[in-house]
Structure 1
Amino acid sequence: MVQSPHGRRTKGIIASMNAVSELLEILDLEKIEENLFRGVSADQTWQRVFGGQVVAQALVAAQRTVPADRFCHSLHSYFLRGGDPSAPIVYDVDRIRDGGSFTTRRVVAIQHGRAIFLLSASFQLHEEGFDHQIEMPDVLGPDEIPHGDALKERILEHAPPAVKRYWQRPRPIEFRPIMLDHYLTENKLEPIQRIWVRCNDEIGDDPSLNAAVLAYLSDMTLLDTSLFAHGLSVFDERVQAASLDHSMWFHRPVRVSDWLLYAQDSPSSSGGRGLTRGSLYTREGRLVASVAQEGLIRPRKG
Structure 2
Amino acid sequence: MANSATLFAPPPLDSSKAPIENVLELTPVEDVGKDVFTNTRPLWHPPGARGIYGGAAIAQSLAAAMRTVPADFAVHSMHCYFVLAGDSAIPILYHVERVRDGRSFITRTVQARQRGRPIFTTTLSFSKANSGGKKKLEHASSMPSVALPEEPLPGSKRTFDESGGGPFETKKAGIVNRNSPPQDKRIRRFMRSRGRLSDAGGHHAHISALAYITDSFFIGTVSRVHDVPRFSSPAELEKLLNALKNPSDLDDEDIARALKELKEEETADLRRRLQGALDKVAKEGPQEHKEVGMMVSLDHSIYFHNPWAFRADEWMLTEMESPWAGEGRGLVLQKIWSKDGILIATCTQEGVVRLKQDEPPRSKL
1:261 aligns with 2:257: no
**Partner residue in 2 for 1:130:** 137
Q: 1:231-270 residue pairs with structure 2 within 5 A?
A: 231-236=227-232, 238-239=291-292, 240-252=294-306, 253=308, 254-270=310-326
Name the Cα RMSD after superposition. Answer: 2.8
Q: Distance in 1 between matches of 2:173 and 2:46?
A: 29
Amino acid at match of 1:251: H
SS of corresponding position for 2:121: strand
The structure with the largest strand share of the pair is 1
Matched, 1:31 2:28: yes
Deviation at 1:208, TM superposition (A): 1.4
Contact 2:19-2:195 at 8 Å conserved across structures = no
1:43 maps to 44
* CA–CA distance in structure 2, aligned partners of residues 78 and 123 of structure 1: 19
What residue in structure 2 maps to residue 8 of structure 1?
A: none
SS at match of 1:86: coil
User: Which residue in 2 is equivalent to 1:53?
Assistant: 56
Q: Mapping of 1:129-168 within 5 angstroms?
A: 129-143=136-150
Q: Gaps spanning 5+ residues in structure 1: where?
A: 1-16, 153-165, 182-186
Whether the 8 Å CA contact 2:188–2:317 is kept in 1: the answer is yes
Q: How far is the alpha carbon of 1:68 from its aligned partner? A: 1.6
Q: Distance in 2 between matches of 1:226 and 1:204?
A: 35
1:213 and 2:182 aligned: no
Write out aligned runs for 1:52-71 (5 A): 52-71=55-74
33, 48, 73: which one pairs with 2:76? 73
- Say whether 1:283 aligns with 2:283: no
Shift of 1:27: 2.0
**1:175 is the counterpart of 2:170:** yes
User: Between Structure 1 and Structure 2, how many residues are aligned?
Assistant: 265
Mapped to 2, the partners of 1:270 and 1:45 lie a distance apart of: 25
Corresponding residue for residue 93 of structure 1: 96
- Partner residue, 1:227: 223
Cα distance, 1:42 vs structure 2: 3.2
Match of 2:194 among 168, 176, 200: 200
Q: Secondary structure at the match of 2:68?
A: coil
Pick closer, same or farther for the CA change 1:257–1:94 going to 2, 3 Å.
same
CA contact (8 A) 2:18 2:196 kept: no
How high is the TM-score relative to the length of structure 2? 0.66
For 2:295, the aligned partner's letter is A
1:195-223 superposed Cα distances (whole Å, 9 cap, x missing partner) = 01111110046111111110000000111
* Secondary structure in 2 matching 1:61: helix
Give the drift of 1:224: 1.4
Alpha-carbon distance in 2 for matches of 1:188, 1:151:
30
Q: Which letter maps to 1:114?
A: R
* Structure 2 CA distance for aligned equivalents of residues 178 and 45 of structure 1: 23
Q: Tell me by how many angstroms 1:44 deviates.
A: 5.2
Query: Matched residues, percent identical?
Result: 33
TM-score for both structures, normalised by structure 1: 0.79
Residues 163-189 of structure 1 deviation map (CA, whole Å, 9 limit, x = unaligned): xxx75x4221111102389xxxxx986
Cα distance between partner residues in 1 of 2:25 and 2:108:
18
Residues 131 and 180 of structure 1, relative CA distance in 2, 3 Å threshold: closer
